[in-house]
Structure 1
C-alpha cells in the first residue's frame, strides 16, 4: 500500500475555537482568558504542525483494513453505548424542566442539550452504517475487470458489465484485495454502479471501501448559462454578507458581551464558503473572456475520449508542450481526434485556459505546459 503524505492536523484548530468560544461565552475576557488563550493557541500550533507526536496525544492510530468482525464489534459497542446516551438526554431534559434557564443561561443550556442530542445522533448513525455494511457484505458480489494505475495500489480503472469504463479509488485496501487486482485483474464489488461501494473477495473477512466514478463531460455548464450562474452566485454572496453584517451589528447593539465574538466565527465561515462557491464560476468566466478564440495544433494517443484526456500541443510560437483536460466535452474531443487541434479562449499560454469551439456552447478547463527546452531562452515558464 502506498504511504500517504503527512498533513497538518487542521481539525485541532476547530477544537481550539470551540473551547475558546465556550470560555468566552461563559466568563468573557478576563485574566484567565488573557493567559490561557495564548498558551492554548501555542499548544494547538504544536499539535497541528509537529509531525512526530505520541499517538495517545493526537489520537491518530495506524489504520487497519476493515473486516466483518470489526464492523460487527463496532455495531455491538454502539448498541451498548446508545442506552446510556439516551439516559443523558433524558437527564438534560428533566433538568431543563425543573430549572428553566433565563437570560444568557439559555445559550449554555442549548449548548449542553445540543451536545447530548448530537451524541445520540452520532451513535444512531454509526449503528445504521454498521448494519448496512453487514447487509451489503452478506449480499452478492459483482466481478469487474480492473487494473491499477502505474505505481499506485489505491487507484485504477474498471469496466462495468455494459462496457462503460470507470475509475476506482480504494480506501485502506487489504493485501488480499491488492493481490487479487494485480494477479487476477478482478475487483469484486457489492454494486456495479458509480458511487461508494464495498470491495472484497466473496466469502472473505476483510474488505475495503471503494469509490467508482465515471468521468462525464457534462460536469461543466454551458457557456450561455455561465453568466447567469455568476449573477445568481454574486447576489447570493452579497445577501450572505449583508445578513452577516446585520446579524453581527444587531448582536453588538442589542446584546453585547461575548455573543458578537461567538457569532463572528460562523458568519465568517459562511461568507468564506459563499465566496469560494462564487469564485468557481467567476474563474471560468474570466478564462472564457480572455480574448478571441485561437487554434493550436494538438494530438493525443487516446482513441476514445470518455474521461480525462492528455496529449501534446504546439504553441503559436513553435514551442512544444503538453495539455490535460479533466472532463472533455464531445465536440471538443471530436475536434481533437479528427482535426488535431484545440480552440483556446485568448492567447495560448502555460497554465489554465478555456477550450471549446468558437461556434459551440460547451467548454472545458485545460491545463497547458511548455516542455520545449527553448522556453528558457524565450522566457516561457517551465512546469
Structure 2
C-alpha cells in the first residue's frame, strides 16, 4: 500500500467545505482513498455505475435527505449530471441546519460535463482537488526507475512483472478509448483517437504543431484542437504553456505537450522494459515529462508552471512559480554528468529566477557554476514542496 500525499489535503477540505470534487483519471486510486476516508466517519458510498445505486437515487432528494448526517460519497458522479441541482438544495438545507462541511464527496473522471454542471450549480459550495498518478515523491528513491518505466497508476506500478504491467496499461488505453470516452460524451472513432494519442507520445515534450498533426490524421486543425482539449480535460495529457513577459524578446508562443503518465507514454510506444526504453530515441523526452509531472505535483497549491524559449535560443525546460515568489528555473537532464547549455544561462539572465536547478538521475546534490545546483529528482521535489 502506497500512502498518497493527497489524503491529508482531501480530509482537510472535507472538513472545511460542504462538497469536495476529487477528479482524476480512472484507476488512479480515487475510490480506494475515498473509501478509506469513509471508514473514519459516518459515511455512505454509492457507485453510480451500478444499477442498484442508480435505482436508490430514483428519488434522490428523498433518499439523500435520509443520510444528511453522513458524508455521502458519489463515485462516477458524471453518470447522473442532473443530480447537481439536487445537491445544491441539500447542501443549502444542511447549512441552515448548521452542517457547513463534510456533506458530499464527488468522484469523477474529470469529464467536461462534470466540470460544467458542478460549476453552474454548486458555485461557492464546492472545492476541487486533482488526484494524479503516484509521483516521484510518493515512492522511495530506489523505486524511481520502476515508477518512470511503469508509470504511476497503482495497478501498473505494483504489477508482478514488467510484462504484466505493460499488459495492464495496454488494456487501460483500450478501455478508455472504446468505453470510457464514449460514455463521457464525445463520439470520436477509437482508432483515430488512439493514433492521435500515440502521435503525442512520439512528440513527448515537443512544441505543439497542430498543422502537422492534422495532416498526419487527415483532419483539420480545429479537430486536432478538440481532440487535444478532450485529453487535457481528462487529465491524460498536459499542455504546458510558454512563459510570457514584456522582455523585448521574441518568445515562442506554442505550448509544449506531454502525455502525463510516463507508463502510458511507454505503452503507446510499445516499450515494456527498461532496456527497450533506454534504447529508444524518446528516452530523454520521457524523462523530462516524468520530472515535469513530479515537480508540478509537489508544488504548493496555486503554483503556476510554464516553460521559456526565445527565437534566439534561450531556453528553460520548466519554470515553477510558487504563489508570491519569483520563478524557479529548472533544467532537466538525463545524464549522470549533466552539462548546462548556454541557452539556459541566457534565459536566466532574462528572467532572474529565485533558484536555478538541474534535475538529473543521480543521487547527490552538488553546485555548478553561475549559481546552478544539480539535484536528484526527489531532492528537488522535496525542496519545492517544503520551501515553495
Normalised by the size of structure 1, how large is the TM-score?
0.27
- Larger proportion of helix: 1
Q: Max radius of gyration: which structure? A: 1
**Bigger relative contact order, structure 1 or 2, given CA contacts below 8 A and separation 6+?**
2
Normalised by the size of structure 2, how large is the TM-score?
0.27
